[in-house]
Structure 1
């Protein structure tokens, strides 16, 4: 069983790091590495056994993996078309279609490299395969840890509940996406009030160029119309991004309660990235998510992942350049008959 030792060790490291600070993307990477090491150890035992059942499992995994790629690509295409029909042809709404196109491109490059086997195609296939494996690993790690983060318990006490804003419909109307955040914030506030706390609810969002009122004001009006006490609402009406939402809300909280604790509310697909931003901003609090329409989740998740890649762009660019260099080395080795 020593073959599983790296996976167990990495998982223990993951548990310790989550207990200390759950708002780190490195937690997702370590969790992914633990799963990868466990899978590699299992595959190694299957190969070492040399039994017919081991070979059958290996072939079954290959078939399932191939079918999984086909099904995933088909679902992304369908989701992309659905997004365009319901939400319009904005660049963000095309992300599912772009992801499907990238998968098909990588598969085509790998097949061509295997069939043609010229130095150029071997180099291209090696680089494309390496980049696809790296990004797939990061994406799966992100999805798994984001799912886990959304189910970790938050503190029982808080001085503030901060609701992150989003765009308004028609310049002044709260859309369903934002309404779900406000409903979750009300539920969180009610649970805290039952324990004897009376937290202030901060609606956070400024006024966009196509909006008649600041988002925070429309959010506050929405809550008041549904029975929420107006004297427990604070409006943060200057922010235009998630980073500003959190920085300006932090200033409000620190001014009144320097040693504050808070709960931040956003949609579930956005919760983990908001938590990463909250940590960088120095906010003392965790993030909880509200439900999102199923058809919206794939595109939103891809968008969140892309934003995180950009946040860590130096590291990702460096690793991607190394993988491209690996493709160049494969081209050189094939051309010169090395190996």
Structure 2
């Protein structure tokens, strides 16, 4: 009887958790007055949790048959694996989220994050602003702005960052543009190609300027491309942080397996 009640409670908790996910999606859309990229995962997860919770409650009310018990056991194992991996990866994200540079780097590298027309989106603007703060403290540092041109973008992300930096007093001669990349591993690969042509040194020390949630993935992909890495992290809107962290969970798994 006690186990029956526990199972029922788990079902109700799943329903509540699902509703929270759906509400988060709706709040993001209302606050930012638009559909937030990747936030659809919360409506999908929320709906799945609600259905699973209702399914679990109904099954236990009508007593579980043998097949249903096996299905729930497999589902529990799968959910446990997801939860453990999620906690571990999110821990890595948060441990690496703060600014972490101890030695003056050879170059700083600002990663693009999207523009609309010629205007930087908020995440990319925050990264560029954080890079500018470092440049002003270390005048003369060479800066790599990295990001190609995507759909809905009139210029490359790298060019948008270059324009902003020059407008704020950075010497154009100290800016190196990487304009081919479409994702983080390409940021690193194409930057590595550029630096091989202009700088013959090995183990170049690179300070990567990116959003706090993205630092961990950017650093381990940079290391795969032969860089010694440090980080300069930029903040993001706290309301959007859950969205970015969930997206980054999937991004890290994908990058760890496929991005070589």
Taking structure 2 as the reference length, the TM-score comes to 0.82
Q: Which runs of 4+ in 1 moved over 6 A?
A: 65-71
Match of 1:175 among 111, 117, 121: 121
Match of 1:79 among 2, 5, 24: 24
* Distance in structure 2 (CA, Å) of the matches to 1:264 and 1:244: 14
The structure carrying a bigger strand percent of its residues is 2
* Distance in structure 2 (CA, Å) of the matches to 1:152 and 1:232: 23
User: CA contact under 8 A between 1:202 and 1:234: conserved in structure 2?
Assistant: yes
CA drift of 1:261 comes to: 0.7
1:204 is matched with 146
Unaligned runs of 5+ in 2: 1-9
Unaligned runs of 5+ in 1: 1-64, 315-339
Q: Give the direction of change, closer, same or farther, for the CA distance of 1:288–1:108 in structure 2 (3 Å limit).
A: farther
Task: Give the paired residue count.
Answer: 247
Superposed counterparts of 1:132-151, under 5 Å: 132-151=79-98
Aligned CA RMSD, in angstroms, stands at: 2.9
Partner SS, residue 275 of structure 1: helix
1:54 is matched with none
Superposed counterparts of 1:1-339, under 5 Å: 73-85=18-30, 86=32, 88-89=34-35, 92-112=38-58, 114-115=60-61, 116-151=63-98, 153-169=100-116, 171-191=117-137, 193=138, 198-255=140-197, 256-259=199-202, 260-311=204-255
Q: Which has the larger radius of gyration?
A: 1
* Distance in structure 1 (CA, Å) of the matches to 2:256 and 2:112: 24
The structure carrying a bigger helix percent of its residues is 1
* Distance in structure 2 (CA, Å) of the matches to 1:286 and 1:68: 41
* Distance in structure 1 (CA, Å) of the matches to 2:96 and 2:12: 29
Q: Give the direction of change, closer, same or farther, for the CA distance of 1:108–1:70 in structure 2 (3 Å limit).
A: closer
CA drift of 1:285 comes to: 1.1
Taking structure 1 as the reference length, the TM-score comes to 0.65
Higher mean C-alpha deviation, range 279-288 or range 135-144: 279-288
